[in-house]
Structure 1
Amino acid sequence: MTTLISRNITLADRRTSIRLEPEMWDALSEICTRERRSLHDICTQIDQERHQSGLTAGVRVFILKYFRDAATEEGHAKALQRRHSRV
């Protein structure tokens, strides 16, 4: 059984909160680190680009798309290049 974790975020000019599973927060944090952007910046982008879903659903879809894009052959090659450039 997974417990949802609620966190406050700032979207451009307003504060709100979203509830996600710990694994989703971990994935979102990893994306922020990889992209060198804040949680607030990424969530603002998601909020601006989503159409009909709620913010929480928009965040989940964003995370899924991000990692699916990275799972392509090109995405794997870029990840491998990044990994080797850090060593």
Structure 2
Amino acid sequence: MSGRPVKHSVTLKGHRTSISLEEEFWQALRAIAERKSQPINALVAEIDVDRGADMGLASAIRVFVLRDLQTRVAQDQIEP
């Protein structure tokens, strides 16, 4: 993996938009969507609604992925 952003299109509020993320973030986002049994467009729409007006969508996705990982790591440390 190159670490360079990869552009993908998603549909938000009925409109196509492009998001550039590193492939590792796309893979993690797909895994989260699969774990939640929802399409990636639906997950991105949730992230879009929850982000602040001063945060870009790509940044919000990266933070979402990071927080998901942090939550799962914390749960693994608590549970035997």
CA-CA distance at 1:13 after TM superposition: 2.2
CA-CA distance at 1:4 after TM superposition: 1.3
- Percentage of pairs with the same residue: 30
In structure 2, distance between residues paired with 1:3 and 1:67? 21
In structure 1, stretches of 5+ residues that fail to align are: 81-87
Structure 1 match to 2:43: 42
Tell me the TM-score normalized by structure 1.
Answer: 0.80
Paired residues in the alignment total 76
Q: Which runs of 4+ in 1 moved over 3 A?
A: none
In structure 1, distance between residues paired with 2:20 and 2:46? 18
Q: Over alpha carbons, which structure has the higher Rg?
A: 1
In structure 2, stretches of 5+ residues that fail to align are: none
In structure 2, distance between residues paired with 1:67 and 1:12? 27
In structure 2, distance between residues paired with 1:48 and 1:64? 18
* Structure whose residues are more often helix by fraction: 1
Q: Quick check: 1:7 aligned with 2:8? A: yes
What RMSD, in angstroms, separates the aligned Cα atoms of the two structures? 1.5
Structure 1 match to 2:59: 57
Tell me the TM-score normalized by structure 2.
Answer: 0.86
Structure 1 match to 2:29: 28
